[in-house]
Structure 1
Amino acid sequence: MNNNLNIGSLRDIQMSAILASNKTLLGYVIIAGLGILSMILFYQFGQEKYKLVRFEARRAKKQNELAGQVRDIAGSI
């Protein structure tokens, strides 16, 4: 009786299992990559920075106006 036929079929089954698991793993990596790429595409980097600059400029302008009013009032006393 020849046992080599059984070993060959086990080898083929093992190779098929390895290929199937690699395909599954690659699928998960691709799905995660698409998620990361979509986040990068839709995320607006730096939007907060520009909002802060506009807010700081508006606040500084109001402070200068208030300081000017205080100087006017203090100068008239």
Structure 2
Amino acid sequence: MPAYQFYRLSPGGEAAAPVQMMLFGDEAAMRRALGGQFPTGCDVWQDGRFVGQFHAASPHRTAIEADGQ
């Protein structure tokens, strides 16, 4: 089982220690990244390989969405 590192994204750009998890693969890592533990988003790495940058959907409606409904 590979080890994945989750680097929390912050609005101010502060660097935080990564959260490391042992997961079955990239799909499990993506689900974890979008699962709510990282509300401001995160970069996901598996050793030296960049898996992706993930942002959960915003629970707030934008002005454009509000005007359309």
Larger Rg: 1
When normalised by structure 1's length, the TM-score is 0.19
Query: TM-score, with normalisation over the residues of structure 2?
Result: 0.20
Structure 1 or 2: larger strand share?
2
Q: Which has the higher contact order (CA 8 A, sep 6+)?
A: 2
Which protein is richer in helix relative to its size?
A: 1
